């Protein structure tokens, strides 16, 4: 059973709908389980954003059957207050962010990392009320390659398949070079990193992805006095 | 009586029907006709004063350019058929040829070649025999029945009335009847067309017909990546801005929100809390 955070953040990972359903869609859900055994999602997410949609997206059933994943409710008074506050302060189209806010509430309660994609939800996670660390799906994949859980080519293959027909990540299906540069930069930082999966508990990972997408990694490298890389 | 220019156009259309083995009842598949004839269709917004279309042949390659500012499927179809008429009648054996058509169809004084192309288009889209059979079945020609025919043949209302009148296929459709029909139809045709289910072809499919699929996909991808803005997307897709955005939304493509690098988040990379492994 999960224990609430006291002092140092625990290394629990809370997955939102997007990584779960899209890894299932491309047949890589087991791999996600290998990377993040004993992970969690919000009961709201599992019930309303995954299993309610099995008829339209049959692969969602696999998420419900995953043994490595547990759905827990964000149902404490503190959770409810946080979800309510964030939903007012960070409104999005219709009910779009409800699942993310449940994930954020759980990550807050247990000091975990939220794997979320939505920009507005990321802002909510970073607000003073929440102060939850979150990571993009692509940053997680890049970090998995950096930590040696998967080769860089395999990681790119997954990212590309996730993005084909979706094209919502900061690094999309045609951004092979940007992905390579993101992983390259992460590898330079690896000596400073905590081990997997605690390395995901860092808002900076997404900034590497964003900088790679915007081709601003050279600037970051200068700022943090990292040796410049020679293109081969 | 139809004049010589009309006969020339009609004969060419008949010959082309025969050549293509087209079943001459109902809507002619113009996209297939152009494919078989080796003609490329492109669309460009020439603006409200840009006319209906152009036929261009250069180095043996034929191109029909339709003005996307014209939003009537019937009129666009007539324009395409008119340009095919130029292709068949006036560009054979020519290495280079250009026809700029400001107003296809209708009456009035026109150069011989334009009348021939009009006749070709009218007959090609709605052959006499087929029209006659339909007219006999319909009986009294009313605005509603003309709309039925225009949908059936993929013609505009004007072209359908003109076609019925000019061929003298139906006694009721004399000049007075023609003018009465046009008066009665004023402001009603579009509503009637929609009420009856519209053309079988989708406007967008027709206007975007010859944009290669990969080109459309790449344009949407560029938009999704923020490489091009919505106006450029519309330009590339050869369609009005609203239509382009609608298409992008339908495809689940929206302009991405790639945030700026966040300084606070970035500092997290080098924060003690993150590096205390």
C-alpha of A86 from chain center = 19
Q: Which chain B positions have a beta carbon within 8 Å of A204's beta carbon?
A: 265-271, 274
Tell me the average pLDDT of chain B. Answer: 78
What is B2-54 written as a DSSP string?
Answer: --HHHHHHHHHHHHHHHHHT---SS---HHHHHHHHTEEEEEE---TTS-SEE
C-alpha of A104 from chain center = 11
On whether any CB of chain B is under 8 Å from the CB of A13, the answer is: no
Q: Answer whether A205's CB lies under 8 Å from A142's CB.
A: yes
Q: Could you tell me the two tokens for B45?
A: 């917004």
State which residue of chain B sits closest to A133, comparing Cα positions: B265
Q: Which chain B positions have a beta carbon within 8 Å of A216's beta carbon?
A: 261
Question: Do strands A133-135 and B53-58 pair parallel, antiparallel, or not at all (unpaired)?
Answer: unpaired
CA-wise closest residue to B59 among B97, B24, B21 = B97
CA dihedral over B70, B73, B77, B80, signed as positive or negative: positive
Phi then psi for residue A126, to 5 deg, are -85, -5
pLDDT over 60 (residue B188):
yes
On whether any CB of chain B is under 8 Å from the CB of A22, the answer is: no
C-alpha of A158 from chain center = 14
CA-wise closest residue to A143 among A115, A172, A103 = A115
Please indicate whether, in this complex, the C-beta atoms of A198 and B277 are within 8 angstroms of each other: yes
pLDDT the model gives residue B250: 73
Q: Which chain A positions have a beta carbon within 8 Å of B214's beta carbon?
A: none
Whether a cis peptide bond, with omega within 30° of 0, leads into B73 is: no
Q: Which chain B positions have a beta carbon within 8 Å of A187's beta carbon?
A: none
Local confidence pLDDT in tens for the 232 residues of chain A? 455 445 444 589 999 999 999 999 999 999 999 999 999 999 999 999 999 989 888 999 999 999 999 999 999 999 999 999 998 888 765 456 889 999 999 999 999 999 998 888 999 999 999 999 999 999 999 999 999 999 999 999 999 999 876 778 899 888 899 999 999 999 998 888 899 999 999 999 999 999 999 989 988 888 777 666 554 4
Q: Could you tell me the two tokens for B176?
A: 């007075």
On whether any CB of chain B is under 8 Å from the CB of A226, the answer is: no
pLDDT over 60 (residue B154):
yes
With vertex at residue B55, the alpha carbon angle to CA B54 and CA B57, rounded to the nearest 5 degrees, is 140
- C-alpha span between B167 and B6 (Å, rounded): 10
Q: For residue B276, what is the DSSP state?
A: -
Q: Answer whether A156's CB lies under 8 Å from A28's CB.
A: no
Q: Answer whether A39's CB lies under 8 Å from A12's CB.
A: yes
- C-alpha span between A181 and B97 (Å, rounded): 52
Closest in A119, A167, A193 to B221, CB measured: A167
Query: Strand A69-72's sheet: what is its strand order?
Result: A69-72, A39-42, A13-15, A113-115, A133-135
Please indicate whether, in this complex, the C-beta atoms of A119 and B252 are within 8 angstroms of each other: no
CA-wise closest residue to B53 among B61, B41, B35, B38 = B41
Distances (CA, A) of A173 to A15, A57, A164, B185, B259: 22, 21, 5, 52, 18
**Which of the pair, B34 or A62, is modelled with greater confidence?**
A62
> How many Å lie between the alpha carbon of B224 and the closest alpha carbon of chain A?
7
Closest in B252, B258, B264 to A214, CB measured: B258
Write the CB contacts of A83 (distance below 8 Å, at least 6 apart in sequence).
A74, A98, A101, A102, A104, A105
Predicted ipTM of the assembly: 0.83
Closest in B221, B258, B277 to A210, CB measured: B258
Q: Write out residues 139-158 of A within 8 Å (CB-CB) of B.
A: none
The pLDDT confidence band at residue B111, using thresholds 50, 70 and 90, is: confident
CA-wise closest residue to B45 among B76, B74, B87 = B76
pLDDT the model gives residue A92: 63
Please indicate whether, in this complex, the C-beta atoms of A213 and B262 are within 8 angstroms of each other: no
Write the CB contacts of B26 (distance below 8 Å, at least 6 apart in sequence).
B130, B152, B153
CA-wise closest residue to B137 among B149, B126, B127 = B149
State which residue of chain B sits closest to A167, comparing Cα positions: B224
For B263-272, letters b (16+ CB in 10 Å) and e give: eebbebbeee
Q: Answer whether B124's CB lies under 8 Å from B24's CB.
A: no
Q: What is the mean pLDDT of residues B142-158?
A: 80
**According to the per-residue pLDDT averaged within each range, which of A116-125, B65-74, B139-148 is highest?**
A116-125
B201-257 pLDDT tens trace? 544 445 555 567 778 888 887 777 666 777 778 888 877 777 788 788 777 777 666
pLDDT the model gives residue A25: 93
Looking at the DSSP bridge assignments, the partners of residue A114 are: A14, A134
pLDDT the model gives residue A227: 64
The pLDDT confidence band at residue B26, using thresholds 50, 70 and 90, is: low
On whether any CB of chain B is under 8 Å from the CB of A214, the answer is: yes
> How many Å lie between the alpha carbon of A124 and the closest alpha carbon of chain B?
14
Count CB atoms within 10 A of the CB of residue A88.
8
Q: Answer whether A63's CB lies under 8 Å from A29's CB.
A: yes
> How many Å lie between the alpha carbon of B274 and the closest alpha carbon of chain A?
7
With vertex at residue B233, the alpha carbon angle to CA A157 and CA B79, rounded to the nearest 5 degrees, is 125
Q: Answer whether A64's CB lies under 8 Å from A50's CB.
A: yes
Q: Which chain B positions have a beta carbon within 8 Å of A198's beta carbon?
A: 277
Please indicate whether, in this complex, the C-beta atoms of A205 and B253 are within 8 angstroms of each other: no
CA-wise closest residue to B151 among B17, B26, B22 = B26
């Amino acid at each position: 059973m999960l224990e609430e955070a006291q002092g140092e953040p625990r290394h629990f990972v809370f997955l939102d709908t997007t990584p779960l359903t899209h890894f299932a869609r491309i047949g890589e859900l087991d791999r996600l389980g290998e990377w993040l055994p004993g992970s969690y999602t919000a009961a709201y997410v599992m019930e309303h954003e995954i299993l309610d949609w099995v008829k339209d997206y049959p692969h969602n059933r696999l998420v419900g059957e995953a043994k490595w994943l547990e759905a827990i409710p964000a149902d404490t008074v503190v959770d409810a207050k946080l979800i309510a506050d964030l939903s007012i302060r960070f409104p999005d189209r219709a009910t779009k962010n409800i699942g993310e806010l449940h994930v954020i509430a759980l990550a807050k309660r247990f000091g975990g990392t939220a794997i979320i994609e939505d920009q507005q939800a990321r802002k909510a996670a970073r607000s003073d009320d929440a102060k939850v660390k979150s990571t993009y799906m692509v940053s997680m994949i890049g970090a998995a390659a950096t930590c040696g859980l998967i080769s860089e080519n395999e990681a790119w293959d997954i990212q590309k398949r996730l993005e084909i027909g979706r094209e919502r990540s900061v690094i999309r299906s045609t951004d092979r070079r940007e992905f390579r540069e993101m992983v390259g930069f992460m590898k330079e930082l690896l000596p400073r990193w905590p081990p997997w999966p605690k390395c995901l508990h860092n808002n900076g990972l997404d900034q590497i992805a964003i900088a790679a997408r915007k081709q601003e990694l050279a600037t970051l490298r200068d700022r943090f006095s990292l040796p410049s890389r020679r293109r081969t | 009586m139809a004049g010589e220019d009309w006969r020339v156009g009609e004969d060419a259309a008949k010959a082309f029907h025969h050549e293509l083995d087209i079943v001459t009842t109902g809507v002619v598949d113009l996209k297939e006709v152009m494919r078989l004839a080796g003609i490329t269709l492109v669309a460009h917004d020439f603006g409200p004063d840009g006319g209906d279309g152009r036929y261009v042949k250069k180095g043996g390659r034929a191109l029909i350019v339709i003005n996307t500012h014209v939003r009537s499927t019937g009129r666009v179809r007539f324009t395409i058929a008119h340009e095919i008429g130029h292709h068949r009648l006036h560009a054979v054996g020519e290495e280079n040829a250009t026809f700029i058509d400001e107003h296809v169809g209708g009456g009035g004084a026109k150069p011989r070649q334009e009348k021939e192309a009009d006749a070709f288009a009218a007959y090609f889209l709605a052959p006499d025999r087929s029209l006659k059979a339909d007219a006999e079945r319909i009986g009294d020609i009313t605005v509603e029945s003309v709309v039925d025919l225009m949908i059936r043949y993929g013609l505009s209302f004007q072209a359908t009335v003109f076609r019925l009148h000019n061929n003298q296929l139906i006694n009721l459709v004399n000049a007075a009847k023609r003018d009465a029909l046009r008066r009665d139809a004023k402001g009603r045709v579009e509503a009637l067309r929609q009420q009856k289910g519209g053309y079988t072809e989708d406007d967008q499919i027709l206007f975007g017909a010859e944009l290669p699929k990969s080109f459309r996909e790449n344009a949407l991808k560029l938009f999704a990546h923020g490489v091009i803005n919505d106006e450029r997307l519309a330009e590339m897709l050869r369609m009005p801005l609203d239509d382009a955005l609608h298409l992008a939304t339908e495809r689940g493509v929206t302009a991405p929100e790639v945030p700026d690098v966040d300084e606070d988040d970035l500092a997290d990379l080098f924060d003690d809390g993150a590096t205390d492994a």
